Structure 1
């Protein structure tokens, strides 16, 4: 019953979201638990935030356009602009934070526009720990296994996705050998839409989401990026469509979600589930009603999943089999923290925390 108690949810909702609903829950049961809503936390800016790193219910970091990085230490009641100096022309699309003082932020773009910054003092100072010098590279996402080990991924260079590795918490980065990476398809790429095109689970497993080509695929590593396998998903794929976000509850159970950002209100072939770590993907009976760019599992929940996109937010209580939209506002990315707080961020400075009602 603890799942949403600290978020002020009633005991009934807490039990439901904690997994009291069986894995075969029907859509009606999903509907009964959708008294959730987003409580906006004004940021005082119109920046689009596609990068979101929530540490706990008090501390969260945002990465957005116009070189903007914001931080809150009071649950979103106030935000501090801690943007790296000289970065106003860059776009922060992903950010990973370990606590109120330490964060790693990624900017996207061709050539030298792809950079990684690190702070250890709450954003008072930043160190540029990586700047891309390969004209063909375009970095999309960054993710960490723990406070020390992490990866960043780029669109293909010479026919293969390029991966960076760090072992010192983002202070330095090394391009991993490409020998263990399967060949990319023509036009295949990642989508820097929510910071969730590269995700991790546990100490060694990571996944990369792709689209843009004839097939939407998912790459998997079980050795921190040294070697990879790839599988096809049933999601539709073309230059504006594919897998935009991955979310794994553990190293076996996950969802791939996306759609076509040029058709945000439709979601044909935009969701798949896996129970074997991404080797195989299945289409569930139901999916959200529009393109979704971000997803996250509810903490300590067997089957609770949130998904967000420009046309709304959705809840599943049975591991992504059935969904119910509970909000129509626009968000790009979503995450939940171990102390049971869920956050979302998106266009026009929109940031919110999940609440009942």
Structure 2
């Protein structure tokens, strides 16, 4: 081999290696004192809040360089599966299980006000979503007894989570078996006070509220009832384009039914050619045609609206969110891990 051919071959190998290593990677930021984090809200590139087990929450005001950790009084056994933050000072956290609780802080977590409490047997909140700083919705499992038996629990706030009222959306449990609280993202808001809720069990179902009506349709029907399988998370590019992820958390490497694209006025299912590499508990919209999803076995990204997915270098997490104002992407998960997405 001539010297020129050898140089050309070496340059080709270097280029190939660089190409293989290109693309986004996950960079760990810190390990928190929260055993498991499933609540994550990113206000700006610098401001992010997390919440989780042990009645704990945390925030950063400098892009993750430093964190302040807080324990909400009287909530040592609470699991705060969702958090919605509006600034470095204002945030709302939601606890699952009975009694269901929601708290709000307006001073960066120094003080917390309990704004919702319900000890009805079987009460179990699954997630929150907000249209803006005032208007939001929370969803919970259907109750087994009482006047609202077998109807999904819906709560509405019109003052930023300072107060909540029960809302009758008329969604019955007969259409599905489970609402998942894996990342607080089973419900998402759309314009004009509309919302979308994804569910699972024996049937993976898309449920959505449009002006004056409640609609929905099955995404997949499972041969055997599975309380561990279905749709876990949904994110939207706009009112007629979104992605939902899930799978079976008892079979975390299985890819069957773990991702669907939603398109059109009625959010019909569209084909996914290359799915994520296993069960995924959360999906987030990034920009243009990019989505990112994560779960216990890893993280995947799509650059074509959810049609094909490829692995992101780094560990898997419970939840991923992009900054509401900005572009930074944060992750949080088991063992208190928190990370960000970087270009290299």
Task: Report the TM range for the smaller structure's normalisation.
Answer: 0.7 to 0.9
Larger radius of gyration: 2
* Residue pair 1:244, 1:293 contacting (<8 A) in 2 also: yes
5+ unaligned residues in a row in structure 2: which ranges? 1-18, 144-148
What SS does the aligned partner of 1:321 have? coil
CA distance in 2, matches of 1:240, 1:318: 29
What SS does the aligned partner of 2:141 have? strand
Other-structure match for 2:55: 67
Other-structure match for 1:309: 295
* Residue pair 1:200, 1:207 contacting (<8 A) in 2 also: yes
Pairwise CA distance, 1:173: 0.5
Q: Single out whichever of 114-123 and 187-196 deviates more from structure 2.
A: 187-196
Query: Following TM superposition, where does structure 1 have runs of at least 4 consecutive aligned residues deviating by more than 3 angstroms?
Result: 31-34
CA distance in 1, matches of 2:263, 2:255: 22
Higher relative contact order (CA 8 A, sep 6+): 1
* Residue pair 1:150, 1:169 contacting (<8 A) in 2 also: yes
Matches within 5 A, 1:222-301: 222-223=210-211, 227-234=213-220, 236=222, 238-277=226-265, 279-298=267-286, 301=287
Other-structure match for 1:160: 151
Other-structure match for 1:81: 69
Aligned residues: 318
Other-structure match for 1:351: 338
- For 1:215-261, what per-residue CA distance to the aligned partner results, in whole angstroms no more than 9, with x for missing partners? 111211135xx752121113756200100100111111111110000
What SS does the aligned partner of 2:335 have? helix
CA distance in 1, matches of 2:294, 2:318: 6
5+ unaligned residues in a row in structure 1: which ranges? 1-30
The CA RMSD measured in Å over matched residues stands at 1.8
* Residue pair 2:247, 2:280 contacting (<8 A) in 1 also: yes
Pairwise CA distance, 1:321: 0.1
User: Of the candidates 114, 128, 140, which is equivalent to residue 114 of structure 2?
Assistant: 128
Pairwise CA distance, 1:34: 5.5
TM-score by length of 1: 0.85
Pairwise CA distance, 1:187: 6.1
Residues 271/33 of structure 1: CA separation in 2 closer, same or farther (3 Å cut): farther
* Residue pair 2:33, 2:336 contacting (<8 A) in 1 also: yes
Residues 186/250 of structure 1: CA separation in 2 closer, same or farther (3 Å cut): closer
TM-score by length of 2: 0.88
Other-structure match for 1:140: 126
More strand by share: 2
Pairwise CA distance, 1:46: 5.1
Other-structure match for 1:319: 305
Other-structure match for 1:55: 43
* Residue pair 1:50, 1:94 contacting (<8 A) in 2 also: yes
Pairwise CA distance, 1:69: 0.3
User: Of the candidates 91, 95, 120, which is equivalent to residue 107 of structure 1?
Assistant: 95
